[in-house]
Amino acid sequence: MASIIENRSTYEEVPDLAKKFINEAPVETGQRPKSKVSRDTLVRTHQRHLKLLSEETEMQFSYFGLLRPPYVWSSTITVAEDETGDVARLTVRNLEDNVVDPIVTEESIIAIRQACWTRLVDGGYHVCVDHPSDLVLLEADDDLVPESWRNEIESNPSKDAAQCKKDGDMMFLKKRFRKALELYTQGLQLNYTDPDPVSEIDFYRKRCGVSIVLLRLDDAAKDLSKAIATHARSTPDLSSSELADASVIEDWLHNRSIEDPLQISSKITRPLKELAARIKFDIGINQPRPDYNLPVISSYVGPLTLHVDAGNYICDAEVRKAGSHGRGLFAKRDFKEGDLICAEKAFVLPGYFLQDRSSDCLLYSLSDGTAAPRPGAWLFKELVQKLRWNPSLRKEFFDLEDGGYWKEVGWDVTEDEEIPVDIFRVEYIRRFNCYSAPTRSSDLLNQPPDSNPELRTGFWTQASYMNHSCLPNTIRTFIGDIRFLRAVRDIAAGEELTNQYVAPDIDITERQEKLRTMWGFECDCQLCGLDGSISENLRKERMKQFEELKSMVMQLGEKGPPTITSLKKIARALRELEALYSPSMSDELGGEDRYATLPRLALVHPTLFLTEAWRSVKNVDRTIEYALKLLRNFGIIVAIEGNELNVEHKAGLVNVETVRALNYLAEAYTSRGEEQLAKQCLEKAKIWYIVITGAEVGMEQFFAGSS
């Protein structure tokens, strides 16, 4: 047990030092501290840190890293003493703490479960609480509070229920949400002594609103159920209805259905109805059909308005065993190219961009030395909090892939037991299953090729069951916090749905290395099977020629608009590289065209360059030739018979470049007067546009001038 004797400060330790202390810890485990820093020294140092933080200067401590204030997000550090007068630094990690609404305030009395000490370089000691539920704030009259401290504690002046409500409202306005909760709870207790249903409903409603803000959805659902049941019991028409039973309402709030068979929404007042809608949305509603007004959703989404009020449509895909790949997501019905297969709202999506390198927070894994910068750390923290406060959401989350962690260290949790929120397990699940997402996938189309698009990292539960393929049959896109999954080609019921975790590197060795280190597997898709079966010599030769071509292209780019001679030179070099994929030129391809329907990744970039270059010099025939080659190198085989365009891509990659290639073809066919072919190219390009952006939004501008 410890008492907070000094105001808070937050900062981080250098992870390597923390690791060193952990390694040395066994020698001192179970002992009382050997050396002590005096209370005065500790408080003085802490005050210096606080001053530095408030002055917003950079700090260089002997045992802390070079950091910028404020460090409120990852851990909270303060000074505490126990009843014997021993003083130590106290670090609490993963607490939903912030400066405006602090949890551990000055003079708080806390009990720590499984308190453990580590030694600091200045000889002082450090109590560390890793799991937020290991820290309990005690009330002044709690039996655990030492006798000697009780006399010093001022007792709370007694209030009546009306005063509690007023003070709670004030705290809510000041964003002191936890204090508001406390006051509403106190008010409710006082209300029991002199029951008044109107006041009771009001307290439950207010407490429910605060819990929603704090993402404590289970608590919010409990309070709203009680508010509705009290309302029903005190309304003559409803007093003997099912609405008077709070457990019926609670089940309805949790059942994820859009159905309302008891007409609960229409029988309650508007404020209660709005809270019910909020809770159901936040827990997750599943709708049976893929009907979304995408232009409207897209229009109000922005960096500060990521959260979309829409239900999930996830019912036409199911989780099943996927052979050696563990579990996977499978189509429950046939889908046509371009169809929406799933739409899912994020379980958690914090607002930080991955590019935000001002790392005032780092999530450091002492076990494998990996470090996640601020957006990853923030995602982890929000996951911990959401799971901690909402036991109803845990089963779904903890069923996900954790790389075998829980199997190794965990135990069987029975149905009636609460699943523990093991923070290491949360972190493993985060690492294997998070996705990066733009605000809107269509925004990415307008960015220059080498720009660094603004992405966030978030977590979608159903998406977490999807396995990777370098030649996927679906593409995921985002509008705000909703993830859409569309079919790249026709998919039959029962087929596994795959997507690309990352775009494949040209070289198979690099490709597999990335998948192995980040997700612990090697890809066995058709392309990896073939690329992996050819000799190292041929692979190296391809890469060598690719690099040479790339530098030719770059040099040309620096010299201004290309000349016809220079383009012909690059086209010659490209033919040599093409030969390395051709059956006739290579014994090891065995005379067979093994790449006949597969992407030839090393050829993609030079072909793209030549397509755009021929278009820029207005050579229509060459533009058509190279646009078709570009599609072919992405594994998309286009056959033209008369006026008919036939596009086959069972193992092809659809992306912005292939949409552009079709657009260039449409343009070129139009200028040759082959309107029918142009129309078919454009129709296909428009379907693929929706596949790669999620919606038709922005399509007109993208294709402007080519129809």
Ligand X SMILES: C[S@@+](CC[C@H](N)C(=O)[O-])C[C@H]1O[C@@H](n2cnc3c(N)ncnc32)[C@H](O)[C@@H]1O
d(CA 94, CA 385): 8
Q: How far is the CB of 376 from ligand X (least distance, A)?
A: 16
Q: How far is the CB of 247 from ligand X (least distance, A)?
A: 33
Among the listed residues 330, 347, 519, 581, the single contact to ligand X using CB under 6 A: 519
Among the listed residues 204, 465, 581, 688, the single contact to ligand X using CB under 6 A: 465
d(CA 690, CA 699): 8
With beta carbons less than 8 A apart as the criterion, state whether 115 and 90 touch: no
Q: How far is the CB of 327 from ligand X (least distance, A)?
A: 4
With beta carbons less than 8 A apart as the criterion, state whether 277 and 264 touch: no
d(CA 505, CA 511): 5
d(CA 231, CA 216): 23
Pick 373 or 472: Cβ nearer ligand X: 472
How many residues in the chain? 707
Among the listed residues 75, 211, 433, 442, the single contact to ligand X using CB under 6 A: 433
Pick 109 or 341: Cβ nearer ligand X: 341
Among the listed residues 79, 201, 488, 523, the single contact to ligand X using CB under 6 A: 523
Q: How far is the CB of 700 from ligand X (least distance, A)?
A: 36
Residue 569 binds ligand X, judged by CB under 6 A: no
With beta carbons less than 8 A apart as the criterion, state whether 319 and 329 touch: yes
Pick 498 or 693: Cβ nearer ligand X: 498
Q: How far is the CB of 520 from ligand X (least distance, A)?
A: 5
Number of residues in contact with ligand X under rule CB under 6 A: 19
Q: How far is the CB of 434 from ligand X (least distance, A)?
A: 9
Question: Considering only 19-27, 513-521, 651-659, 672-680, which stretch makes contact with ligand X by CB under 6 A?
Answer: 513-521
Question: Considering only 181-189, 345-353, 518-526, 696-704, which stretch makes contact with ligand X by CB under 6 A?
Answer: 518-526
Between CA 7 and CA 15, with CA 9 as vertex, the angle to 5 degrees is 145
Site of tokens 């962690």 = 405
Pick 59 or 527: Cβ nearer ligand X: 527
H or E element that contains 425: helix 423-433
DSSP, collapsed to helix, strand or coil, labels residue 482 as strand
Q: How far is the CB of 425 from ligand X (least distance, A)?
A: 14
Pick 434 or 630: Cβ nearer ligand X: 434
Q: How far is the CB of 680 from ligand X (least distance, A)?
A: 34
Q: How far is the CB of 426 from ligand X (least distance, A)?
A: 15
Pick 119 or 468: Cβ nearer ligand X: 468
Question: Considering only 18-26, 346-354, 382-390, 464-472, which stretch makes contact with ligand X by CB under 6 A?
Answer: 464-472
Q: How far is the CB of 310 from ligand X (least distance, A)?
A: 23
Pick 326 or 529: Cβ nearer ligand X: 326
Pick 215 or 322: Cβ nearer ligand X: 322
With beta carbons less than 8 A apart as the criterion, state whether 222 and 250 touch: yes
Residues 322-361 that bind ligand X (CB under 6 A): 325-328
Pick 39 or 468: Cβ nearer ligand X: 468
Interstrand relation of 75-81 and 2-4 (parallel, antiparallel or unpaired): antiparallel
Assign 3-class secondary structure to 323-382: HHHCEEEEECCCECCCCEEEEEECCECCCCCCCCCCCCCCEECCCCCCEECHHHHHHHHH
DSSP, collapsed to helix, strand or coil, labels residue 684 as helix
d(CA 52, CA 586): 68
d(CA 394, CA 409): 18
Residue 211 to residues 187, 268, 641, Cα–Cα distance (Å): 16, 20, 64
Q: How far is the CB of 433 from ligand X (least distance, A)?
A: 5
Among the listed residues 288, 520, 529, 561, the single contact to ligand X using CB under 6 A: 520
Residue 406 binds ligand X, judged by CB under 6 A: no
d(CA 91, CA 112): 11
Residue nearest to ligand X (CB): 326
Q: How far is the CB of 483 from ligand X (least distance, A)?
A: 13
Count Cβ atoms below 10 Å from residue 496 Cβ, excluding itself: 18
Among the listed residues 19, 468, 650, 679, the single contact to ligand X using CB under 6 A: 468
Residue 499 to residues 438, 485, 488, Cα–Cα distance (Å): 17, 9, 10
Q: How far is the CB of 516 from ligand X (least distance, A)?
A: 10
Among the listed residues 47, 432, 514, 526, the single contact to ligand X using CB under 6 A: 432
Q: How far is the CB of 344 from ligand X (least distance, A)?
A: 14
Residues 383-402 that bind ligand X (CB under 6 A): 400-401
Pick 73 or 519: Cβ nearer ligand X: 519
Pick 385 or 461: Cβ nearer ligand X: 461
Name every residue whose Cβ is closer than 8 Å to that of residue 111 and which is 6 or more positions away in sequence: 1, 135, 136, 138, 144
Question: Considering only 123-131, 141-149, 218-226, 520-528, which stretch makes contact with ligand X by CB under 6 A?
Answer: 520-528
Pick 122 or 524: Cβ nearer ligand X: 524
One-letter amino acid for residue 51 of the chain: K
Pick 364 or 521: Cβ nearer ligand X: 521
Residues 213-242 that bind ligand X (CB under 6 A): none
x/- site string to ligand X, residues 270 to 309, per CB under 6 A? ----------------------------------------
Residue 467 binds ligand X, judged by CB under 6 A: yes
Question: Considering only 144-152, 321-329, 444-452, 554-562, which stretch makes contact with ligand X by CB under 6 A?
Answer: 321-329
Residue 459 binds ligand X, judged by CB under 6 A: no
Comparing CA positions, the residue from 349, 338, 352 lying closest to residue 382 is 349
594 HSE (CA, 13 A, CB side): 19
Q: How far is the CB of 33 from ligand X (least distance, A)?
A: 42
d(CA 296, CA 313): 17
Phi-psi label, residue 472: left if phi above 0, alpha if psi -120 to 50, beta otherwise? beta
Pick 465 or 664: Cβ nearer ligand X: 465
Question: Considering only 185-193, 283-291, 515-523, 645-653, which stretch makes contact with ligand X by CB under 6 A?
Answer: 515-523
Residue 85 to residues 36, 122, 138, 147, Cα–Cα distance (Å): 11, 19, 19, 14
Supply the DSSP string of 59-105, one letter for each residue. B--SSB--B-S---SSEEEEEEE-TT--EEEEEEES----SSS-SS-
d(CA 622, CA 632): 15
Omega before residue 373 within 30° of 0, cis: no
Pick 185 or 526: Cβ nearer ligand X: 526
Assign 3-class secondary structure to 126-175: EEEECCHHHEEECCCCCCCCCHHHHCCCCCCCCCCHHHHHHHHHHHHHCC
Residues forming contacts to ligand X in the complex (CB under 6 A) are 325-328, 400-401, 432-433, 464-469, 519-521, 523-524
